[in-house]
Amino acid sequence: MPTVKTLHARKRIALIAHDHKKAELIEWALYNKTVLCRHELYATGTTGKLIEENLDVPVRKLLSGPLGGDQQIGSMIAEGKIDVVIFFWDPMEALPHDPDIKALLRLGVVWNIPMASNRTSADFLLTSPLMHQEYEVRLPDYSQYLGRKV
């Protein structure tokens, strides 16, 4: 039986950008400031600092990505504490914390999280009426994985 999780109208949004994508995320966030302000914002360390400085909005900042920020967001996803992920990751550069990035993206899929990885998908996500209303997320049945022998 799939489990259902309720997302409230005020979403908990994680904002993350790799260094070469930070300017683009800030520009996008500035353009969408009014809408973003209606939600609760979380971010990895440096991205969060830049958003706070440029948008003058409160952001709950986690550790910087390479120091564990991606892992923290991933664990918040697993605990049902993040509803939406906007992650402008860099497809052109290898990063030392690549396993952490992959883990975060994987958990987003596991927990059926709406995720945007570029400006267009972020536009589509943010302009969805579902962003501003209650929504029931259906989770697959993972009971077969509980206590699985290895």
Ligand X SMILES: O=C(CO)COP(=O)(O)O
- How far apart are CB 130 and ligand X at their closest, in Å? 25
Tokens 């077969």 — which residue? 144
Cβ nearer to ligand X, comparing 97 with 132: 97
DSSP SS3 for 73: helix
**Using CA atoms, how far apart are residues 102 and 85, in angstroms rounded to an integer?**
14
Taking CB under 6 A as the binding criterion, the range among 38-46, 110-118, 123-131, 140-148 that sits at the site for ligand X is 38-46
- How far apart are CB 44 and ligand X at their closest, in Å? 3
In the bound state, the residue with its beta carbon closest to ligand X is: 65
Which string of DSSP letters, residue by residue, matches 13-52?
Answer: EEEEE-GGGHHHHHHHHHHTHHHHTTSEEEE-HHHHHHHH
Cβ nearer to ligand X, comparing 17 with 126: 17
The answer to whether 70 is a known catalytic residue is yes
Residue tagged active-site, from 70, 83, 98, 123: 70
